[in-house]
Amino acid sequence: MVWVTLQEGGGSYRWINHVIRSEASEWPDLLVADWNAARAGKPWFKPDGLHLTADGAEHLASFLRPFVLRAASRRS
């Protein structure tokens, strides 16, 4: 199972990320993909700062790939 952190733009997203990170210790099969940290400072977003550009979508997919592969290999 892979949970992905959110881009922290407001208080509720910070809280959701906190919950995601804190739950990882309770669930041994849970992998946390910290997108919030990986995307920080990158020019992968449209002017609204929220929606991904095409380049950003490719980077998100590349970022998630090893987490998905690791999770899938645990199920074998």
DSSP string, 16-61: HHHHHHHHTTT-TT-EEE-HHHHHTT-S-B-TTSSSB-HHHHHHHH
7-52 pLDDT, tens digit each = 887 679 999 999 999 998 899 889 999 999 999 999 999 998 889 9
Contact 38, 69 (CB under 8 A): no
Phi, psi of 45 (to 5 degrees): -125, 150
All structural domains of the chain with their residue ranges: 2-74
Rounded to whole angstroms, the Cα distance separating 19 from 44 reads 25
pLDDT at 30: 92
Q: Any idea what DSSP says for residue 45?
A: B
pLDDT at 76: 62
